[in-house]
Structure 1
Amino acid sequence: MKHILTKNLTQTEATNLLKQCKTFHYNQDDIILHATDNREGLFLVLSGMAEVYIPSQKSQDEVLEIIKPNELVGLSNLHHFLITNFPQTQQPDPTTPLYPDQLLGQPVQHNQTLVEVRAIYDTEALFIPYTVLKEIWSEPALRDYLLDQVSSRLHDVYHSLAEQINMSTTMGPTADPTILRVQDIMQPSQATIQAKTTDTIQSVAEKLSKTSTTTAAIILNNETIQGIVTMHDFVNRVITRGKSTQEPIETIMTENPITIPRTAYYYEAFTTMLLNGIKHLPVTNENNLLAGLVTMTDLLQAKQPTAMLQNTETLKTVTKEELPQIKQQLYAMLTTMLQQQVPILTTLEVMNTLYDQLIQRCIELSIKEMSTDPPIKFCFYLMGSGARKEQFLLTDQDHFLVYEGVGDTHDYPDGHSGHIATRYFEELSHKIVTNLELAGYKRCKGDMMASNPIWRGTLGEWESRLHEWTLNATNDRLLLSQNFFSHRHIAGDDRLHQQFQQKILDSLDRAKIFLYRLSQLERENPIPTLEQPIRSMFRRNKKQLDLKKEVLFPYHHSLQILALMHGITYGTPIEKIDQLHDKKILSENFQKDLKASISTILNYYVRNRYNQHQNGEELTSTLTLTTLTTREKEELMLSIRLIKELQNHMLSYY
């Protein structure tokens, strides 16, 4: 054996030294050192791999570091070997280690530790007693080697510890969403205004006028919730329509209102209101009967989330001058949701609902700046993260525009109106880009915006583009199509949108080669294969993972191709997973597991980039693995493995 311990010794000296050592074989998961063991020497890993961990009986063991071949086990107890704080009379030479068993009259002290060491795989390790180290301690090369080992490991431990502490404190104090439930903040049923479906409008209005604590009444029929009436309904459905106040309340109530269980968490009520544009939620008990009412005001008083929440109508009425201020209000909303530990898919759903409203308002403002209303019907589409409903920080603009052309409608007796429409939507597209820029969306560096003629056109022009992309599938066109097929309708005519989707579906009938070329691109970019436990990739092998490049992009592309193969041309990634399940392409278990896995990946991705944004750092998609706990590492490994299964499933068709 040629090693630092023996390389400067003669063959005889090395042989005699190694005779005092012993080689041990450990099977996978065998304990090399127990926490209760007295450490009487070091282990040199010859082959295999070991891990140092904190044993736990209540939860998963926490791995601290990985020990690879030619590295030492037991360095944390080396200070007991190097101890020098004994009386000088018993230690005449302070540079020579003195062992506890050499102290006259002193009992041997066993130095227990909180950590254990076990084999990750079948491992061979050489046990080197401290008595052997003592014999060769005067060798400078040995001391340099041990110093390098100790300092390297100390650096890794401190670096990992600092990163984990930084990650845990960056978000600031967080509230546990499991603590606060709807029943803790709702108005109980006895304090809620209730009425029967046959009560008159006037009688219910009189009940509401006598209280200042609520602005809604729950309408019941045999104790079952039948509807809800708000003060807004009295204004819009009674006063403005001149409706008789003697008619029954059921004529103006919102039937079968959205309800929420009293055991639901705060964030569930919070996001339900935001996503559905409502401010009142009837609360139900275990028997689905009325338990109370929770309002947006109740939520605000309970948590004081952000000023943005106190005026959810702001986005619908914001002026062009106010656009630059909206971004920070939306980011305040994001901060609140991340701090409240709202599930990431729910957070993204809420944020993208608000971003949709912002974009729609920018489009409205742009149309108002035009000299006339649109001459024909049009549709505006998002691409990229906004289209996938995965946007949390405002990114570059990524959109295109479709409008009617000659032959799409009877409005065009000749080509003159077509030229008018072309000029109109060219000008409108530039105004939309300008207003989105004011709101915080940077211009796309690749010019994938409706202001670019290749991302704007009639149905017929888009049909020609799709035909060109699918027929001549060059790498450049494949990249364009990957972005295009993630589109989402954000504004415009629904009927035209359906016509456009049919054009896309028709184009795929002749696109087998195109889909094959897309699949080959993904074959060249496989999701990382984490054959071994991800924890074994840390320290010097792999400390970082590019979540966007190595995981999210392959996931999106694989899902996109699989969906297109089965005639699914539209929907967010989550919606496409559900559609593939409906078509029996994905099993129910795989559907659920895949959504859970992508939720895990997105959670790391969002929080990592959010922390970079908060710290004023350059935004990257690189996740530093040393910041994760053992449980998080295992969770990440399993999630990536499942997403790779999706990619493999798609590639199996080719």
Structure 2
Amino acid sequence: MKHILTKNLTQTESTNLLKKCQTFRYNQDDIILHASDNREGIFLVLSGMAEVYIPSEKSREEVLEIIKPNELIGLSNIHHFISTNYPQNQQPDPKTPLYPDQVSKPQTQPQSSLIQVRAIDDLEALYIPYTVLKERWSEPAIRDYLLDQVSSRLHDVYHSLAEQINMNTSIDPTSDPTILRVQDIMQPTTAIIQAKPTDTIQSVAKKLSQNNRKTAAVILNNNQIQGIVTMHDFINRVITSGKNTQDQVRTIMTENPITIPRTAYYYEALTTMLLNGIKHLPVTTENNQLAGLITMTDLLQAKQPTGILQNTEKLKNITKEQLPQVKKELYATLNTMLQQQVPILHTLEVMNTLYDQLIQRCIELSIKEMPTDPPAKFSFYLMGSGARKEQFLLTDQDHFLVYEGNCDSHDQPDEHIDHIATRYFEDLSKKIVANLELAGYKRCKGDMMASNPIWRGTLQKWESRIHEWTLNATNDRLLLAQNFFSHRHIAGDDTLHRQFQQTILYSLDRAKIFLYRLSQLERENPIPTLEQPIRSIFRRNKKQIDLKKEILFPYHHSLQILAIMHGITYGTPMEIIDQLHEKKILSGNFQKDLKASISTILNYYVRNRYKQYQNGEELTSTLTLTSLTTREKEELMLSIRLIKELQNHMLSYY
């Protein structure tokens, strides 16, 4: 082995020196250095990569840096080597530099660290004890190499720290609620009305009244949270129904309520309430006992959360005349969530919940405009980014409609009834398209909308279409199928929806040629390799990357094919990843890493595209690599590599 460690040594000297070192091999996710380890040396990475991170069992782990081949692990403790008083038999020569063995300080003990290091893929590393470094410290090239490694790493750490401070300053950290923890704004246990499941309804209501509490009471049993009762429950479950107030409160409480840890962040409480339609959250300790209560009012008082609550209430009752004004308010919510650095998956979950409510309201308004109620059951589906819950700006419309035809039932066909349903859903689809357009959704240029007859029909008609796509898998039909299989049920009859999914599953049962053709399309569009530096990912040091075309589309298609192969025909990408994990197609580690990688890519995609929108620029999915910091480039590189692994895994079946 030739390395700077053996510079200017003979072959025998090099061999003897390296015998004092040791080569270690680690599998992916193996811990190389634990936080509690005493560190008496450093590691030189020979192959593979590692990450330095802050371990945590109660919150998300924070990755500080990525260590690549020919870089060192353990530099954070190098001060121990510098300050160590090694035994010495002679006085230092005043004409020579001061080396570690010439320091007259008392010997220090290595300290445990707050950080750990683990392999992010199979890794090989050479362990170099400090005693070996001491032997070679008189070699200038060794000192220069070590100094270069330390100064380079220190530069990156300071640069990253400065970026975080600038980011926090730009969003006013004194008032930014996303940096607040739930325990900072919750009501303490001393201010909460607590009761037992066996207490009477009247006694709990009396406690609330006497203590001037108008929110909720938490029901405990052996210090464990059993339920919650709100004023809304007293009104709707007692007064309006004439229930006996001497009954036990357990009969009206919401059992096993959603809770939140006291260490959770502000935005987590906000999104939990919004996505579950609740306004009270019991807060728990590490032992799952009651620590407090947080309400939507508490969040509003901490800081107005961008009108999210108001948007939610407004969307349920918005009129047709108000539809054009909704877009501006929804974008204000998006803007504030991005400014407050809410994690991108939470942001997308909130925004798509709001967009779903907007679309559902447009469908309700369209039905009201029809002369009669629907003559048959129907289900309305989104396709594209809305179906994947990745929509943040209002895109072009992308949807289809399924309805129950008379020939789908066991009754005798009635052509007159079928004709009525055909005309009704044709007119309804046109009204839905018009109302969505009023709300800000442009008409699809490719006419992939329910108003187009090829994107509307009975169960039987859809079964025929899917069969045609799989039987005659031309490129045009494959593109239609790719769009179709990323669909999500958003309105209509649940029973019909389940029947539709069974129809799809049955149609794909013997569609091996169709899946093969889909996989070959992906083979022709591989996700770029990342063996080269980030600047050289694409031919001749290309400095831009199209996140949508070159990363997200191949990811969605690969995941889609892999899912269909294993009988999964429905779900958002994140749900499909979980389903593939449940079927043991994806390992637990890969499931976790893939989600993190997609979150990273979506974060760049959303923020870059929204910035273009704010600046009035043409919306593209192109990311300029030169605008990224070193740490961001490494983060992007690792994320793309994980997604490429998914594509390779899918292609390995073919």
Q: Same fold (TM over 0.5)?
A: yes
| CA displacement at 1:207 relative to structure 2 | 2.4
Aligned position for 1:113 = none
User: Does 2:612 match 1:612?
Assistant: yes
Map 1:534-573 to 2 at 5 A. Answer: 534-535=534-535, 541-573=541-573
Map 1:54-453 to 2 at 5 A. Answer: 172-173=171-172, 179-212=179-212, 214-310=214-310, 312-409=312-409, 414-453=414-453
| CA displacement at 1:27 relative to structure 2 | 7.8
| CA displacement at 1:535 relative to structure 2 | 4.4
Aligned position for 2:508 = 508
Aligned alpha-carbon RMSD (Å): 3.0
Secondary structure at the residue paired with 2:333? helix
* Native 8 Å contact 1:270 1:296 kept in 2: yes
* Native 8 Å contact 2:379 2:489 kept in 1: yes
2:440 partner letter: G
| CA displacement at 1:355 relative to structure 2 | 1.1
Aligned position for 1:86 = none
CA distance in 1, matches of 2:465, 2:613: 38
| CA displacement at 1:321 relative to structure 2 | 1.4
| CA displacement at 1:177 relative to structure 2 | 6.5
CA distance in 1, matches of 2:543, 2:194: 60
| CA displacement at 1:569 relative to structure 2 | 0.6
Distance 1:270 1:169, change over 3 A: closer
| CA displacement at 1:533 relative to structure 2 | 2.3
Secondary structure at the residue paired with 2:406? coil
Aligned position for 1:601 = 601
* Native 8 Å contact 2:311 2:330 kept in 1: no
Aligned position for 1:495 = 495
Secondary structure at the residue paired with 2:407? coil
2:421 partner letter: A
Distance 1:532 1:29, change over 3 A: farther
Identity of aligned residues (%): 82
CA distance in 1, matches of 2:520, 2:235: 60
Distance 1:430 1:538, change over 3 A: closer
Q: TM-score, with normalisation over the residues of structure 1?
A: 0.73
1:216-256 CA-to-partner distances (Å, cap 9, x unmatched) read 11112232211111111112111221112222211111011
1:317 partner letter: N
| CA displacement at 1:562 relative to structure 2 | 0.9
1:415 partner letter: E
| CA displacement at 1:320 relative to structure 2 | 1.3
1:591 partner letter: Q
Secondary structure at the residue paired with 1:312? helix
1:534-572 CA-to-partner distances (Å, cap 9, x unmatched) read 145699822111000000000000110111111111111
| CA displacement at 1:459 relative to structure 2 | 0.4
1:32-66 CA-to-partner distances (Å, cap 9, x unmatched) read xxxxxxxxxxxxxxxxxxxxxxxxxx965999xxx
**Which structure 1 segments of 5+ residues have no match?**
1-25, 32-57, 64-115, 119-163
Distance 1:420 1:624, change over 3 A: same
CA distance in 2, matches of 1:513, 1:59: 46
Extract structure 1 runs of 4+ deviating beyond 4 A. 26-31, 58-63, 167-178, 211-214, 410-413, 535-540
Distance 1:209 1:320, change over 3 A: farther
Distance 1:62 1:168, change over 3 A: farther
Indicate the larger mover: 469-478 or 176-185: 176-185
Secondary structure at the residue paired with 1:376? coil
Distance 1:27 1:385, change over 3 A: farther
* Native 8 Å contact 2:311 2:329 kept in 1: no
Secondary structure at the residue paired with 1:586? coil
1:52-88 CA-to-partner distances (Å, cap 9, x unmatched) read xxxxxx965999xxxxxxxxxxxxxxxxxxxxxxxxx
CA distance in 1, matches of 2:4, 2:207: 72
How many residues were matched structurally?
509
Q: TM-score, with normalisation over the residues of structure 2?
A: 0.73
CA distance in 1, matches of 2:186, 2:66: 40
Indicate the larger mover: 459-468 or 586-595: 586-595
CA distance in 2, matches of 1:616, 1:172: 22
| CA displacement at 1:340 relative to structure 2 | 2.1
| CA displacement at 1:346 relative to structure 2 | 1.6
| CA displacement at 1:407 relative to structure 2 | 2.8
| CA displacement at 1:639 relative to structure 2 | 0.7
| CA displacement at 1:411 relative to structure 2 | 6.4
CA distance in 2, matches of 1:418, 1:566: 35
CA distance in 2, matches of 1:594, 1:59: 19
**Which structure 2 segments of 5+ residues have no match?**
8-62, 69-146, 150-162
CA distance in 2, matches of 1:29, 1:405: 78
1:629 partner letter: T
CA distance in 2, matches of 1:346, 1:415: 48
1:560-592 CA-to-partner distances (Å, cap 9, x unmatched) read 011111111111111111111111111111111
User: Does 2:626 match 1:632?
Assistant: no
1:2-41 CA-to-partner distances (Å, cap 9, x unmatched) read xxxxxxxxxxxxxxxxxxxxxxxx989999xxxxxxxxxx
* Native 8 Å contact 2:381 2:401 kept in 1: yes
Secondary structure at the residue paired with 2:371? coil
Higher-Rg member (1/2): 1
CA distance in 1, matches of 2:421, 2:269: 45
Aligned position for 1:524 = 524
CA distance in 2, matches of 1:179, 1:268: 11
1:565 partner letter: M
Secondary structure at the residue paired with 1:407? helix
CA distance in 2, matches of 1:246, 1:29: 82
Aligned position for 1:622 = 622
